[in-house]
């Protein structure tokens, strides 16, 4: 499932080589920075997407397209199951809509197109609650 957010880069962390074939780079984006309660969201870029962060610095306005990922992990000490969530960036654009690299929207597979979310929308959803 794909989502999109617009905000200002608060921090870009160093790239970490996790294994021979997997690297990760985390960054923090502040959304609603002008409001009373700004939200700081940590996202990650993996493998070839890590280099896309080189074009940005702290304070850059960005629009980030990302997937929401989650996985379970069982603690071997007590058997407790924990769930970890990740916001995995697959496209980062400068400003509100100016492309900074990556594929044009028409080149992105339909399954990865950003999904509009309106928390105030009435009805029309297929959620069971």
We report the CATH number of the domain holding residue 25 as: 2.40.50.140
pLDDT tens, the chain, 129 aa long:
789 999 999 999 999 999 999 999 999 999 987 778 999 999 999 998 999 999 999 999 999 999 999 999 999 999 999 999 999 999 999 975 444 444 344 444 444 444 444 445 555 555 554
The pTM of the full predicted model, rounded to 2 decimals, is: 0.67
10 in a structural domain: yes
Q: Which of 92, 86, 25, 30 is nearest to 56 (CA)?
A: 92
> 19: which 2 tokens?
């294994």
What is the pLDDT, as a whole number, of residue 80? Answer: 95
Q: How many domains does the chain have?
A: 1
| CA distance linking residue 46 with residue 81, whole number of Å | 25
| CA distance linking residue 57 with residue 64, whole number of Å | 14
116 in a structural domain: no
105's enclosing H/E stretch is none
What is the pLDDT, as a whole number, of residue 44? Answer: 95
19 in a structural domain: yes
115 in a structural domain: no
What is the pLDDT, as a whole number, of residue 96? Answer: 59
106 in a structural domain: no
Residue 66, Cβ density class (10 Å: 0-12 exposed, 13-18 middle, ≥19 buried): buried
| CA distance linking residue 23 with residue 21, whole number of Å | 7
Q: Name the residue range of residue 72's domain.
A: 2-101
Judged by DSSP in three states, 20 sits in coil
89 in a structural domain: yes
What is the pLDDT, as a whole number, of residue 120? Answer: 52
User: What are the residues whose beta carbons fall under 8 Å from the beta carbon of 13, sequence distance 6 or more?
Assistant: 25, 26, 27
120 in a structural domain: no
What is the pLDDT, as a whole number, of residue 32? Answer: 85
What is the pLDDT, as a whole number, of residue 14? Answer: 93
What is the pLDDT, as a whole number, of residue 95? Answer: 79
11 in a structural domain: yes
């Amino acid at each position: 499932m794909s989502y999109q957010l617009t905000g200002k880069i608060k921090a870009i962390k160093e790239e970490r080589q996790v294994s021979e074939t997997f690297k990760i780079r985390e960054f923090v984006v502040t959304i609603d920075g002008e409001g009373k309660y700004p939200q700081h969201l940590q996202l990650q870029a993996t493998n070839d997407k890590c280099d896309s962060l080189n074009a940005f610095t702290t304070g850059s306005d960005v629009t980030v397209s990302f997937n929401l990922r989650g996985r379970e992990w069982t603690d071997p000490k007590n058997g407790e199951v924990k769930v970890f969530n990740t916001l995995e960036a697959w496209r980062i654009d400068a400003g509100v809509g100016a492309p900074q690299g990556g594929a044009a929207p028409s080149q992105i597979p339909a399954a990865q197109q950003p999904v509009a979310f309106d928390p105030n929308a009435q009805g029309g959803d297929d959620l069971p609650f």
